[in-house]
Structure 1
Amino acid sequence: MKATPADQLLLLDLVRLDAQSRGAEAAKRNPAQAARVQELLAHRQALSVELTGLLGTRDDIEAELARIASDVAVVDARAARDAQRLGATSSAKDAQGLEHEIASLARRKSELEDGQLAAMERLEAAEAAVAAQQALIAEVNAEGGRLSAEGKAAVAEAQSRLDAATRDRAAVAARVPADLLSRYETLAERTPGAGLLTRRTCGGCHMELSGSDLKVIGQAADDDVVTCPECGCILVRTDESGL
């Protein structure tokens, strides 16, 4: 295949723009923030499960306090009724029984109040644990929100770079002869496509060519399209090629 040195040199622009497009595509598909966002989502899920347990514990204690309060109210009502009956009775036996029951109710109320204080202390600790867990979740949400926004911005920036590279590549490709462009694109499916031969080294695979290979390449005409014996890409030759 024949192509002018100037046309072959355009292939290096295609290589550069194709690399930019691949980089932009990769950045668009997988922004740097994506992995951390996924970690945060998993962490938030675990924290939410823990929060559910803490809320259940708090709710159980609140229910226990409600039951104790109800029991205290029952004891108070019964003690008040017994006190009223004691004041109205003239029977020594009935009075003795009522006094005994009132004493029992007082002990029961004391036990309930002790349990109530203990439950209130546990409730305070449970509420603190819930608040701490909610604070952790809020921190995770804040970081996740910030990274998600940064990721969206990175995707938009990558799309902008991709659009620019695609536009510039189309402009360069339009200047490359059709047969040379087709050869480059076919080779680019399995090789770097093209590379500048600089100081005896292929710019595509970065391998230094042997003396015999360089001799063959050096004997080729300037408009011959030659390929790298190592990777198969088109070798673009200039005065810096060392031939």
Structure 2
Amino acid sequence: MNATPAEQQELLRLQSVDTRLAQLAHRLGSLPQAAPLAELATRDDALRRSRAEAVGSLEDVRTELSRLESDVSLVEARIARDSERLTHTSSVKDVTALEAELASLARRRSDLEDQELAVMEKVDEAEGAVAALDAEREGLVTERSRLEAERDESAAGLATERDQAERDRSTIAETIPADLLAFYEVRRVRGGGIGAALLRQRTCGGCTITLTGSDLEAVRKASAFDVVQCPECDRILVRTDESGI
């Protein structure tokens, strides 16, 4: 492939911009807020699971409390009914039976009320656990919002730099022949982001291998219009007065 020395040197400008774009992409993907935000997301997931479990426990004890309250209401209704019957009966047998049942119902109500108090304590504890998790999540959300604002501010500045670099790249790419640009792009993909490198003092700027022997001789004999490649890394070698050949 042939290209003028000026066109080949434009590849170095293009490579510089491409390197800058790669650096900006890396910085955008590894902003200092990324790691703590990821940690907060992990903590938030754990808190969500803990809260779901805590809410489940709270619902269970509330259900138990409702059942006990219903049982107490039934017992009280029976006490009221039997008390009413007691006041309207003159049968000794009925009075004895009703008094025995009322005593049994009173004990039952006392037991239920004791259970009710114990379960109410469980409800308070469960509500406290949910409230504590909610407070922790609220603090986490506040911290996440702060970090996201910092991240977005940093990302906005980097995005502005990236947009300018992309415009610069387009401007430079327009000055390079299509076949040379395509050849460079293939080398850049294969070369891990570096498609063209300056040959300085017989050393490839891409892989830092110094040319010697037949490799160096082949480059020396090549025309200034020949697009030469590094025999080691296959990248385009751009020759200038600094090449030392």
TM-score (norm 1): 0.76
Alignment correspondent of 1:229: 231
**Paired residue for 2:205, among 198, 203, 208?**
203
SS of residue paired to 2:107 = helix
Alignment correspondent of 1:71: 71
Is the Cα–Cα contact under 8 Å of residues 86 and 98 in structure 1 kept in the other structure? yes
In the TM superposition, residue 235 of structure 1 has moved relative to its aligned partner by 1.9
State the one-letter code of the partner of 2:112. L
Q: 1:201, 1:134 → 2: CA distance?
A: 62
Q: 1:50, 1:102 → 2: CA distance?
A: 46
Q: 1:35-88: per-residue Cα shift (whole Å, max 9, x none)?
A: 876776566455434433332321232222222223223333433444455455
Q: Select between 106-115 and 208-217 the one with higher mean Cα deviation.
A: 208-217
Is the Cα–Cα contact under 8 Å of residues 31 and 155 in structure 1 kept in the other structure? no
Q: CA RMSD for the aligned pairs?
A: 3.5
Percent of aligned pairs with the same residue?
46
Alignment correspondent of 1:3: 4
User: Which residues of structure 1 form unaligned runs of 5+?
Assistant: none
SS of residue paired to 2:190 = coil
Alignment correspondent of 2:104: 104
Q: How many residues align?
A: 241
State the one-letter code of the partner of 1:72. V
Q: 2:175, 2:16 → 1: CA distance?
A: 16
Is the Cα–Cα contact under 8 Å of residues 61 and 119 in structure 1 kept in the other structure? yes
In the TM superposition, residue 195 of structure 1 has moved relative to its aligned partner by 0.7
Alignment correspondent of 1:168: 168
Q: Select between 198-207 and 175-184 the one with higher mean Cα deviation.
A: 175-184
In the TM superposition, residue 102 of structure 1 has moved relative to its aligned partner by 2.3
Q: Select between 71-80 and 200-209 the one with higher mean Cα deviation.
A: 71-80
State the one-letter code of the partner of 1:16. S
In the TM superposition, residue 27 of structure 1 has moved relative to its aligned partner by 5.8
State the one-letter code of the partner of 1:68. L
State the one-letter code of the partner of 2:210. E
In the TM superposition, residue 140 of structure 1 has moved relative to its aligned partner by 4.8
In the TM superposition, residue 16 of structure 1 has moved relative to its aligned partner by 0.9
User: Which residues of structure 2 form unaligned runs of 5+?
Assistant: none
SS of residue paired to 1:197 = strand
Question: 1:206/1:97 Cα in 2 relative to 1: closer, same or farther (>3 Å)?
Answer: same
Alignment correspondent of 1:123: 123
Q: 2:91, 2:101 → 1: CA distance?
A: 15
